[in-house]
Structure 1
Amino acid sequence: MKSAVENLNPTRVRLTVEVPFEELKSSLDAAYKKINQQVTVPGFRKGKVPARVIDQRFGRGAVLEEAVNDALPKLYQSAVEEGELNPLGQPEVDITELKDNELLAFTAEVDVRPEIEIPDYSGIEVTVDAVEVTDEDVDQAVEQLRERFASTSPVERAAAEGDVVKLDLEAKVDGEVLPDGVAKGIDYTIGSGELLEGIDDAVTGLEAGGTATFTSTLKGGSAAGQEAEVTVDVETVSARELPELDDDFAQLASQFDTIAELRDDSRKRLEQNKKYEQATEAQQKVLEELIELIEVPVPDKLLEDEINTRKHNLVNHQLGQMGMDLATYLQLQDKSEEDFDAELKEQAVKGIKTQFVLDELVSKEKLNVSQEELTEHLMRRAQSSGMSPDQFAQAVVEGGQVPMLVGEVARGKALALVVESVTVKDSNGEVVELDDEEEGAETVEAAETAETSGDTAEAPAAEQATEEKKEG
């Protein structure tokens, strides 16, 4: 077999392959055997029809077609390996010559990973928010904890902000009650903003047994995006009572004996959370700076497929679960379809470029992924998917997505190497030293986020596999 590679552009090649006919012998034998099992010829036992009879009865062309279909994938793969190519997606194959007992010739056009040169990135410098926890931050954290331990008691008065009301709701569109527009016995805290827009004004001032009607734009369900007339009945009104912020509360709400110890612990937790956020911000900014340094051509077909995959996942999985279509989503987001498509393309380009650059770093630095690193990453992904680790692992294996997970971890390690080599300062001008423990998991997540601002070229398949597993 002879093969040659022609570069059509930085991301697409044409393979020209010529195969002497003798190299098709095994595929021809397989073709005769397959046809033998499928046909019946009087005078011959099934599977024992001679080749010359098959040629006479069914035509040599049918045999050649079967043989070529069998041989092409193997011949293409051999040409890819000989040319040391990294193909992306399926090739477009064209048989240019087929001479019986002489020659098979074909061309295959396919997208390939572009050659990327990683420049010196040690000069990158980014600025992130400083880790600062104020007394007001601590007050807010303790107050949120206090809210969780609030008690309620029925009152015989008009409802006011902060009260908990038990409600029955009925929503109508064009005078018709919606199939999913009735809800009973809902507990709602006035002012929380957790229900329909306009409900706070409607129920404020009502006593138990009171009724009000208001209009609101529905954000989900069968009539998402439409304006509905909502009737609300107040069953009960209850006042919320917050516990005193004293040592007794500290002992009730935590393992600490005093409120001072509880506040100290809250401050430490807030500092840790802000360090986590700071590390994520640093990694995202470093990654953005790195991508800006490098010229990364994006294959047109890969970009088209990536955009379609992201759109499919949004419409059929995310919005589908919310009972919403794309038109309603765009209306709620106040976006035109053109704006949406432009955003989707921008995210897809960023994701593809990120993956190409980090994969090149993985190759250049010869980074490997240990079983322990893969297991830790799988556990995190399982947690975010809402599945058990065993369920998630099974879905990933069945979907053939293990290499995708390995790639995510490897790209995270590549990003970690870059972050270690650059300068990160906070908004106070101080150099930030990221903890190794924080950096490990975060860089994987930072790389994923950049790739998946809607999901990478590979990631949606994994998400879809786990979605299907949950639905199944």
Structure 2
Amino acid sequence: MKTDVEELTPTRVKLTVEVPFDELKPNLDKAYQEISRQVRIKGFRPGKVPARLIDQYVGRGAVLQEAVNDALPELYGRAVEEKEIFVLGQPDVEVTELDDNEKFAFTAEVDIRPKFEVPDYDGLEVVVEDAEVTDEKVAETLDSLRERFASLTTVERAAEKGDFATIDIAAEIDGESVEDAATSGYSYEVGSEGAIEGLDEAVTGLSAGESKTFTSKLVGGERAGEDAEITVTVQSVKVKDLPEADDEFAQLASEFDTIEELREDVRTRLGRQVRLQQLSDARDKALEALLEKVEIPLPDAVVQQEVDRRYQQLDQQLQMAGMTRQDYLKDEEKTEEEFDREVRDASALAVKGGFVLDQLAVQEELGVENEELSEYVVTQAMQMGVAPQQLAQYLTENNQLPAIVSEVLRSKALNLIVEHVTLKTESGETLDVEAIQRELDGGETVEAGEDVAEEAQEIADAAADADAADEADREEAREANAEAEAEADKKDGGKDA
């Protein structure tokens, strides 16, 4: 097999592959066997029809087409491996020559990851917020906990902002009742700016048994978006009573005996959250700082795939929230053009970040240990709220193991970047990333049971092949980079001469 590579752009190549016809013999035999099982010719059982009769009744062309379709994936894979190309996505394949018993040739255009070197990242400066836990923040968090244990008490007065009114809602359009817009016994917090525009103004000032009618657009149902006459009737008005922040409340809401112990625990937990946020911000900003030092071309198709993925995710979230994209854009005060530009910029940055982390993993010869894969599976299962065994089965059945290896590798590459940055707070304090991590690791941890560990280990073992394949890809990339450097050195030497 002969393969030539033509660079169409820095991120797209065209492979021209010529294959001696005799290499198609196994595929031809398989094609005859497959067609033999499908055709019905008198005197022959399915699967026993001779090749000459298949040529006569079905046609040699159909057999050749079947054989070519069967052979193309393997031949394409061999060509990519031979030329050590890091391909992205599916290729556009075209059969250019098919001479029976002579020669077979095809071309394949495919996006590739650009070739580049990650520049030095030692000493990059990153600034994060101060890890300060103020008394006000502690009090705010404690008040939120008190809110969870609040009770509602009925009052004999008109509704005010902050009250909870039990209301009935009815709607009419041109005198006709809109049934799917009606509700009764709905508990509404006055001043919460609910979905129905004008509802707050209508309820404020009403006492139990009183009603008010106003005009507004319906937000749901078959007639959503139409103007309707909406009547709201107040059944009762209630105020929220918060429990006192005392020892009795601490015993009710926690395992602590005194409010001071609870308050100190809140402060400790907030401090841990702030430290975690510092590390998260450091990771994001360290990658951003490194990306600013790298200029690489990006495949349009790969960026578009990321754009499509983000829009699909957004539409799913909006659908669950009962909103349209137009509603979302209105809330964000953005035009479609502005939002699309933001999504495309973010998608391009994400693709670029992935390329840089992948290349850094190659340069630093990073690998993935079984223990790291096990930890990843258990952590993901905890975050998703599913059993590790369930997640393990899903990942295995859906061939997600290579994606796990890639995700862990990128995370390790990003951790390596963070370890080499100079991390400072807004007030000028220099932070020790490793010390912060040790501090956090000394906090609360969740131990996995033996069954979870065993399940995760099975995933790690199953992922070994994927890891080995990735290692082979990385080795090919290293060799390709070395060749590129050698070629560049030759050219530079020729210029100097």
Which whole-Å deviations, capped at 9, do the CAs of 1:135-169 have from their partners, x for residues lacking one? 22222222222222222222222222332222223
What is the distance in 2 between the residues matched to 1:377 and 1:123?
29
Residue of structure 2 in register with 1:462 after alignment: none
Is contact 1:154–1:238 with CA below 8 Å preserved after alignment?
yes
1:321 partnered with 2:316: no
Partner of 2:190: 190
* CA distance in structure 2 between the partners assigned to 1:178 and 1:359 by the alignment: 57
Bigger CA drift: 272-281 or 165-174? 165-174
Secondary structure at the counterpart of residue 84 of structure 2: coil
- Separation (CA, whole Å) in 2 of partners of 1:430 and 1:48: 81
Partner of 1:461: none
Q: CA deviation at 1:394?
A: 4.0
Partner of 1:436: 437
- The residue type paired with residue 314 of structure 1 is L
- Give the C-alpha shift of residue 171 in structure 1: 4.9
Paired AA for residue 408 in structure 2? V
CA contact (8 A) 1:165 1:190 kept: yes
Amino acid at match of 1:436: Q
Q: What is the match of residue 333 of structure 2?
A: 334
1:26-79 deviations in whole A, cap 9, x for unaligned?
A: 111111111211222334443333222322333222221111111111111111
Distance 1:312 1:59 in 2: 45
Change in 2 beyond 3 A, CA 1:135/1:312: closer
Residue 344 of structure 1 corresponds to which residue in structure 2? 343
Which runs of no fewer than 5 residues in structure 1 stay unpaired? 441-472
**Residues 413-453 of structure 1, C-alpha deviations (whole Å, 9 max, x = no match):** 2111100101010011001223236889xxxxxxxxxxxxx
User: Which one-letter code corresponds to 1:261 in the other structure?
Assistant: E
Instruction: Please tell me whether the aligned partners of residues 222 and 324 of structure 1 are also in contact (alpha carbons under 8 angstroms).
Output: no
| 1:359 counterpart SS class | helix
Query: What is the aligned partner in structure 1 of residue 410 from structure 2?
Result: 411
Alignment root-mean-square deviation, CA: 2.7
Shift of the 301–52 alpha-carbon distance from structure 1 to 2, 3 Å rule, reads: same
Contact 2:20 2:102 in 1 (8 A): yes
Tell me the secondary structure at the aligned position of residue 270 of structure 1.
helix
Shift of 1:101: 1.2
Q: Aligned partner of 2:91: which letter?
A: P
- Equivalent residue, structure 1, for 2:8: 8
Deviations 1:247-276 (CA, angstroms, capped at 9, x unpaired): 223223222232222222222222222212
Judged with a 3 Å threshold, the aligned counterparts in structure 2 of structure 1 residues 48 and 142 are, in CA distance, closer, same or farther, namely closer
2:485 is aligned to none
What pairs with 1:256-405 in structure 2 (closer than 5 Å)? 256-315=256-315, 317-382=316-381, 384-385=383-384, 387-405=386-404
Deviation at 1:397, TM superposition (A): 3.6
Q: Is the 8 A contact 1:220 1:324 kept in 2?
A: no
CA distance in 2 between counterparts of 1:427 and 1:19 reads 63
Q: How far did 1:285 drift?
A: 0.9
* Counterpart-to-counterpart distance in 2, 1:169 and 1:146: 31
Q: Structure 1 residues 344, 228: closer, same or farther in 2, change over 3 A?
A: farther
Q: How far does residue 3 in structure 1 lie from its aligned partner after superposition?
A: 1.2
Match of 1:254 in 2: 254
Instruction: Read off the aligned partner of 1:125 and give its amino acid letter.
Output: E
Partner of 2:84: 84
* Structure-2-length-normalised TM-score: 0.80
Q: Pick which of 86-95 and 368-377 moved more.
A: 368-377
- Alpha carbons 2:181, 2:218 under 8 Å: kept: no
Q: Is the 8 A contact 1:169 1:230 kept in 2?
A: yes
Q: How does 1:428-467 map to 2 (within 5 A)?
A: 428-434=427-433, 435-436=436-437
For 1:418 and 1:40, locate their aligned partners in 2 and report how far apart those are by CA, in whole Å. 65
Secondary structure of residue in 1 paired with 2:91: strand
Aligned match of 1:468: none
Counterparts of 1:372 and 1:336, CA distance in 2: 47
Aligned residue identity for 1:210: E
Q: Deviations over 1:291-350 (max 9, x none)?
A: 1111222112222233233323333x2233234443444344333322232122112111
